[in-house]
Amino acid sequence: MSQSEIGADPSLLLVDDDEIFLNRLARAMEKRGFAVIRAVSVAQARAEVERRAPAYAVVDLRLEDGNGLDVVDALRARREDARIVVLTGYGAIATAVAAVKMGATDYLSKPADADDVMRALLPHDETLPPAPEAPMSADRVRWEHIQRVFEQCDRNVSETARRLHMHRRTLQRILAKRSPR
């Protein structure tokens, strides 16, 4: 990447409690021209944002000391033009919508490589993103819908089951399983 694509301020805050992933992504982003600031917790990330709000950020959604959306909110309050990507290993449409509503530019599921992060961070001229090479399966779409309704019902299993016209125990079994591919 050229410096002109990144802009005048190459500062990038990376927030992830998986230090191996954090360090690997930091090295890859430094090679692409970013000035990387690393944080392993919400508290550390918020302190970095207060010290100097970066132009870019990649924030893990679930951190040991809290929710990455708190970092998104803090950065958005200090720097409205920041481009923020939320990363998570627990991808669900409901959390993606929440992240974007709070000010995230994009949302990526782990594992995401440095090229995926670059595409999400930098603005594009395209009006629509390219079609996915591997679209979600029907089982995954069903699971995502159930997760969205579950979040809308404030994680209340009985209310979610009622709205989905589903037996509560069936819903509990579905929620206990990992997401389908």
Look up the CATH number of the domain holding residue 83: 3.40.50.2300
Contact 88, 117 (CB under 8 A): no
State residue 151's pLDDT score.
85
pLDDT of residue 4: 52
Q: Tell me the C-alpha distance between 94 and 53, whole Å.
A: 27
Same-domain check for residues 108 and 165? no
pLDDT of amino acid 112: 79
pLDDT at 26: 92
How far are the Cα atoms of 27, 28, 90, 167, 177 from residue 41, in angstroms, in the given order?
Answer: 19, 21, 18, 39, 27
Residue positions counted in the chain? 181
Give the pLDDT score at 56. Answer: 93
Number of domains within the chain: 2
Per-residue model confidence (pLDDT) at position 1: 46
Residues of the chain with pLDDT under 50: 1-2
- Residue 157 lies in domain: 138-176
